[in-house]
């Protein structure tokens, strides 16, 4: 049988990526103008005579003043946001293979801690931060992330050790156990 293989499923991302590349700049520009333009900016510039307009024009310390649209790309935030989890994952993978005492494990882990600290510094100094730090500190967000982490760890442990247990203890065949889990 000839034709396209299962690998072609990954090409669905190409048209989606093209649409995102075209749509996001237009949408972000429009959103920035509506969020920081008329009614939310400097009321004095619009002839209202007082500085805070409707109470939305005060500066939150994000590097831009009243009525001024944020500009620029937070390159340092983007780099540290990408590098930090990559270093963490790589360090954990190396620790699993070589142990935590090996420099190939603890150096990337140390780099991930440094990357997280640099991310916080970068976001505090950025005119247009990728992530607003007060948002990341919300208890509901942190609690939700901790629950997701606990669930992922639980499922990973069950997935990794559950099939081995099912073959040894009750005597299931791996395919039968998998189909049984799938059916529930």
Task: Please tell me the predicted confidence (pLDDT) of residue 158.
Answer: 73
DSSP characters over 65-130 = -TTPPP-S--HHHHHHHHHHHHHHHHHHHHHHHH-TTSHHHHHHHHHHHHHHHHHHHHHHH-SS-S
More confident residue, 183 or 114: 114
* Two tokens, residue 82: 């990408």
Per-residue pLDDT of 122-168, as tens digits, reads: 999 998 898 888 888 899 999 999 999 898 888 877 776 776 777 77
Most confident of 32-36, 70-74, 98-102: 98-102
pTM: 0.50
CB neighbour class for 87 (10 Å; exposed up to 12, middle 13-18, buried from 19): buried
Q: What are the angstrom distances between the C-alpha of 115 and each of 11, 88, 94, 98?
A: 32, 10, 18, 23
Per-residue pLDDT of 14-49, as tens digits, reads: 899 899 988 888 887 655 555 555 444 444 444 444
Q: What are the angstrom distances between the C-alpha of 92 and each of 112, 151, 152, 154?
A: 11, 19, 16, 18
Task: Please tell me the predicted confidence (pLDDT) of residue 5.
Answer: 80
Confidence of residue 9 (pLDDT cuts 50, 70, 90): confident
59: left (phi over 0), alpha (psi -120 to 50) or beta: beta
Most confident of 15-19, 33-37, 76-80, 107-111: 107-111
**Mean pLDDT along residues 81-89:** 94
């Amino acid at each position: 049988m000839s034709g396209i293989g299962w690998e072609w499923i990954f090409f669905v991302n190409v048209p989606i990526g093209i649409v995102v590349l075209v749509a996001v700049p237009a949408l972000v520009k429009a959103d920035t103008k509506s969020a920081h333009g008329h009614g939310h900016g400097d009321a004095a510039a619009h002839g209202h005579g007082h500085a805070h307009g409707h109470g939305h024009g005060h500066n939150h310390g994000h590097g831009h003043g009243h009525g001024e649209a944020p500009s620029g790309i937070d390159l340092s935030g983007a780099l540290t946001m990408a590098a930090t989890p990559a270093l963490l994952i790589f360090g954990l993978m190396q620790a699993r293979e070589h142990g935590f005492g090996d420099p190939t494990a603890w150096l990337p882990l140390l780099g991930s801690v440094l990357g997280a600290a640099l991310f916080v510094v970068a976001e505090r100094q950025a005119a247009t931060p990728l992530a607003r730090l007060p948002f990341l500190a919300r208890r509901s967000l942190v609690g939700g992330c901790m629950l997701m982490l606990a669930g992922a760890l639980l499922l990973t442990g069950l997935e990794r050790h559950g099939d081995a247990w099912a073959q040894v203890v009750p005597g299931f065949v791996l395919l039968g156990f998998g189909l049984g889990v799938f059916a529930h």
